[in-house]
Amino acid sequence: MNIFSTYNGMLLLFIIMITCCNIGFNHGCMDEERTALQEITESMGYGHDSYEYSYRSRFFDDCCRWEGVHCSPTNSQVIGIYFYFIKKDSEEQWFPDMSLFSKLKQLQELQLVGNNIGGLDNPEAICELANLQRLDLSINSIEEEVPPCWGNMPSLRTLDLSKNEFRGKLTSILANISKNIEVIDFSHNLFKGFVLFSILANLSNLKHLGLSYNYHLEVETEDPIWHLSFQVQHLLLADCNLNHQSGKGIPRFLSTQYNLQTLDLSSNSLVGNFPTWLFQNVSSVLSLRSNCFVGQFPEQLQSTLSTLDISDNRFDGHLPLHFDLILPQLFEFNASSNQFSGNIPLSVGELKHLERVDLSNNRLSGPVPGGLTQNSPLWYLNLSNNSLEGEPLAINCNMPKLHWLLLHNNHFVGEFPACLSNSLSLRLIDVRHNDLSGTISSLSVLMQLGAFLVGGNQISGHLPKELCEMQKLQFLDFSNNRFSGNIPPCLHKSLVWKNKIQANSWVPIDFTTKGISRLYQGIPVTLMTGIDFSVNTLVGAIPQAIGELSELHSLKLSNNHLTGHIPTSFKELNNLESLDLSHNNLTGHIPPEISQMSTLSRFSVAFNNLRGSIPSSTQFSTFSESDFEGNPELCGEPLQRKCSGNDDDDDGRKENPSEKAEERVFDKPLIFFSFVFISYSLGFWGFLAPLYISAKWRRKYFATIDGWIEHLFYIMYFKLGT
Q: What is residue 493's predicted lDDT score, i.e. its pLDDT?
A: 78
Strand order in the sheet with 216-220: 167-169, 190-196, 216-220
Expressed as residue numbers, the domain containing 106 is 31-44+60-137
Q: What is residue 521's predicted lDDT score, i.e. its pLDDT?
A: 57
Q: How far apart are the first and last CA of the chain?
A: 145
- 529 and 406 share a domain? no
Q: Which long-range contacts (CB under 8 A, 24 or more apart) does 289-294 make?
A: 289/238, 289/313, 289/334, 290/266, 291/265, 291/266, 291/267, 292/248
Structure confidence at residue 59 as a pLDDT band (50, 70, 90): very low
Give CA–CA dist 535/558, Å, rounded. 6
- 493 and 632 share a domain? yes
Give CA–CA dist 400/586, Å, rounded. 44
- 498 and 613 share a domain? yes
Does residue 659 lie in a domain region?
no
pLDDT above 70 for 678: no
pLDDT above 50 for 652: no
- 511 and 632 share a domain? yes
Best CA proximity match to 115, nearest among 92, 97, 144, 99? 92
Best CA proximity match to 268, nearest among 246, 253, 283? 246
pLDDT single digits (tens) 181-197: 999 999 999 999 999 99
Average the pLDDT over 408-424 and give the result: 93
Structure confidence at residue 428 as a pLDDT band (50, 70, 90): very high
Best CA proximity match to 308, nearest among 321, 280, 281, 327? 327
- 454 and 601 share a domain? yes
- 272 and 192 share a domain? yes
- Give the whole-number percent of the chain exceeding pLDDT 70: 80
Does residue 85 lie in a domain region?
yes
- 188 and 101 share a domain? no
pLDDT single digits (tens) 265-295: 999 999 999 889 999 999 999 999 999 999 9
- 280 and 344 share a domain? no
Asked whether the CA dihedral 502, 503, 507, 513 is positive or negative, the reply is: negative
Does residue 52 lie in a domain region?
no
Helix (H, G, I), strand (E, B) or coil at 680: helix
Structure confidence at residue 704 as a pLDDT band (50, 70, 90): low
Lowest-confidence region among 230-244, 295-309, 511-525, 599-613: 511-525
Lowest-confidence region among 89-93, 106-110, 232-236: 89-93
Half-sphere exposure of 429 (CA within 13 A, CB side): 26
pLDDT above 60 for 204: yes
- 332 and 421 share a domain? yes
Residue type, 84: Y
- The backbone torsions φ and ψ at residue 199, rounded to the nearest 5 degrees and listed phi first, read -65, -15
Q: What is residue 519's predicted lDDT score, i.e. its pLDDT?
A: 65
- Give the whole-number percent of the chain exceeding pLDDT 90: 58
Give CA–CA dist 634/608, Å, rounded. 10
Best CA proximity match to 101, nearest among 135, 58, 152, 140? 135
Does residue 126 lie in a domain region?
yes
Beta bridge partners of 461: 483
Query: In whole angstroms, how large is the CA radius of gyration of the chain?
Result: 39
pLDDT above 60 for 503: no
Does residue 721 lie in a domain region?
no
Best CA proximity match to 153, nearest among 196, 108, 186, 117? 108
Lowest-confidence region among 143-157, 341-355, 468-482, 692-706: 692-706
Find the length of the chain: 722
Any idea what the CATH number is for the domain that residue 362 is in? 3.80.10.10
Half-sphere exposure of 582 (CA within 13 A, CB side): 16
Q: What is residue 646's predicted lDDT score, i.e. its pLDDT?
A: 65
- Please report the beta strands in 514-558, taking only residues with DSSP state E, as ranges in sequence order: 516-520, 530-532, 537-541, 554-556
- 583 and 476 share a domain? yes
pLDDT single digits (tens) 330-357: 999 999 999 999 999 999 999 999 999 9
Give CA–CA dist 100/40, Å, rounded. 7
Does residue 585 lie in a domain region?
yes
pLDDT above 50 for 665: no
Q: What is residue 719's predicted lDDT score, i.e. its pLDDT?
A: 44
Give CA–CA dist 686/700, Å, rounded. 18
- 512 and 426 share a domain? no
Task: Please identify, among 436, 465, 496, the residue that sits at the C-terminal boundary of a domain.
Answer: 436
The domain total for the chain is: 4
pLDDT above 70 for 517: no
Residue type, 34: R
Burial state string for 328-338 with b = 16 or more CB within 10 A and e = fewer than 16: ebbbbbbbbbb
Asked whether the CA dihedral 634, 635, 641, 642 is positive or negative, the reply is: positive
Task: Please identify, among 405, 436, 467, the residue that sits at the C-terminal boundary of a domain.
Answer: 436
Give CA–CA dist 145/202, Å, rounded. 25
The helix or strand, by DSSP H or E, that contains position 340, with its residue range, turns out to be: strand 339-343
Inter-CA distances, 720 with 664, 707, 715, 716, Å = 56, 19, 6, 5
Average the pLDDT over 628-641 and give the result: 91
Does residue 664 lie in a domain region?
no
Does residue 683 lie in a domain region?
no
Q: What is residue 505's predicted lDDT score, i.e. its pLDDT?
A: 57
Q: What is residue 90's predicted lDDT score, i.e. its pLDDT?
A: 81
- 280 and 335 share a domain? no
Task: Please identify, among 436, 464, 483, the residue that sits at the C-terminal boundary of a domain.
Answer: 436
Structure confidence at residue 21 as a pLDDT band (50, 70, 90): very low
Residue type, 126: I
